[in-house]
Copies of this chain bind each other. A is one copy, B any other.
Amino acid sequence: MSVADDTEERHPTLALDDTVHQRVRLGILAVAREAESVEFAFLKQELGLTDGNLSRHLKVLEDSGLVAVTKGYAGRRPRTWVTLTSGGAEALDRELRALRELVRRLDAAGPPPA
């Protein structure tokens, strides 16, 4: 009892996960992926965030197991380090696969009808 639509590809945005896709969190995961760990102040500057906004999104990512947050010291100054977990790396890879597929699909469709 299948219909034609059953055989079509699922739309690539259905493979996006809001936890990872949200603009600020996608930025955090992307920056964290480029280093072993990144400092809170660096993320804040790189992504143009306030302390509160960065903390809020880090909490969501930490609660989802996508990053680990570690507090420590550089000399006597307190520092917070953010590290992508293996689950976070996998989640970011899934996001990037879906984004590539979305871009590919829109490129294949050509410009919008006039």
Contact = CB atoms under 8 A, between A and B. Distances in A.
User: For chain A, what secondary structure do more than half of its interface residues adopt (helix, strand, loop), or is it mixed?
Assistant: helix
Give the oligomeric copy count.
2
Contacts of A12: 30
A22 B22 CA distance: 7
Given A36-B113, A99-B99, A106 B47 contact: no
Given A21-B23, A99-B102, A30 B47 contact: no
B11 A27 contact: yes
Nearest to A45: B5
A67 to B, nearest CB: 12
Interface in A26-68: 26-27, 30-31, 33-36, 45-48
